[in-house]
């Protein structure tokens, strides 16, 4: 099978919209590979913080992005041979990752790395520019969102369950600021494309959201076979 013929489902959307959870569930249901593209940017941010790198030194940050020693093993993520699964999920790391994602050189450094995840039998990926930039010929593109208030509540619950400190008012503020930054950046801004299906999960359960994506995919496959 030619690389471009391997089916890809992209699930883009704002921070804390649940796109990662839905993408993992859909991938598991279909037996597809899964790519959390945001994790790559968070890994760059973590490595930069560990190295005390100047976040204005674009050449250094691009070099970090190109040379990340990273390994994905199920839901466990390794950086330089050490598990950093929880380390990259802090709000501080997420905020820095969002800032670094605005740099063209860093995005370019990670572009081909993300495309390497397109392997048989298929791939489900989540992020902010998966359908618009990384996999523009994806068989199904989804823009998944929810109200900022609901997203803050979900992130709060997620952090508390992991034993991390969290303040829902601060989370809401950070989410709104990140939405603004991601939507207004000059390179690959967060936005719903014309060929992308909108899925608002404000009032949906995880199961309902998963079933919606799967039904859309099955509908497309059925039409393709006709």
Q: Report the CATH number at residue 53.
A: 3.40.50.300
How much is the pLDDT for 1? Answer: 57
pLDDT of residue 15: 84
How many C-beta atoms lie closer than 10 Å to residue 225's C-beta?
A: 6
* Three-state DSSP class for residue 90: coil
Q: pTM score, two decimals? A: 0.84
| pLDDT given for residue 49 in this prediction | 92
pLDDT of residue 2: 67
Domain span including residue 64: 3-225
Give the pLDDT of the chain (226 residues) as one tens digit per residue. 567 789 999 999 998 899 999 999 999 999 999 998 989 999 999 999 999 888 889 889 999 999 999 988 777 899 999 999 999 988 889 889 988 888 888 999 999 889 989 999 999 999 988 999 999 999 999 999 999 999 999 989 988 888 888 899 999 999 998 888 888 877 777 788 889 999 999 999 999 999 999 999 999 999 887 5
pLDDT of amino acid 53: 87
pLDDT at 131: 94
Rounded distance, CA 201 to CA 18, Å?
8
Structure confidence at residue 34 (pLDDT): 93
Side-chain half-sphere exposure of 2, counting CA atoms within 13 A: 2
Please tell me the total count of domains within the chain: 1
Structure tokens at 143: 């823009």
Tell me the CB-side half-sphere exposure of residue 160, using CA atoms within 13 A: 10
């Amino acid at each position: 099978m030619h690389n471009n013929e391997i089916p890809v489902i992209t699930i883009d959307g704002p921070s804390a919209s649940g796109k990662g959870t839905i993408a993992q569930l859909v991938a598991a249901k279909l037996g597809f590979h899964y790519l959390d593209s945001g994790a790559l940017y968070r890994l760059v941010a973590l490595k930069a913080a560990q190295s005390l790198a100047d976040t204005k030194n674009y050449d250094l940050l691009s070099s970090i992005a190109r040379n990340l020693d990273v390994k994905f093993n199920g839901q466990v993520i390794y950086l330089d041979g050490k598990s950093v699964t929880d380390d990259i999920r802090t709000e501080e790391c997420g905020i820095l990752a969002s800032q670094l994602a605005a740099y063209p050189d860093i995005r370019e450094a990670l572009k081909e790395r993300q495309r390497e995840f397109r392997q048989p039998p298929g791939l489900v990926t989540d992020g902010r520019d998966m359908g618009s930039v990384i996999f523009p010929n994806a068989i199904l593109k989804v823009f998944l969102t929810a109200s900022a208030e609901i997203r803050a509540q979900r992130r709060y619950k997620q952090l508390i369950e992991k034993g991390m400190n969290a303040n829902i008012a601060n989370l809401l503020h950070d989410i709104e600021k990140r939405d603004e930054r991601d939507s207004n950046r000059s390179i690959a801004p967060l936005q719903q494309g014309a060929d992308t299906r909108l899925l608002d999960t404000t009032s949906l359960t995880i199961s309902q959201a998963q079933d919606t994506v799967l039904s859309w995919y099955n509908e497309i496959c059925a039409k393709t076979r006709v």
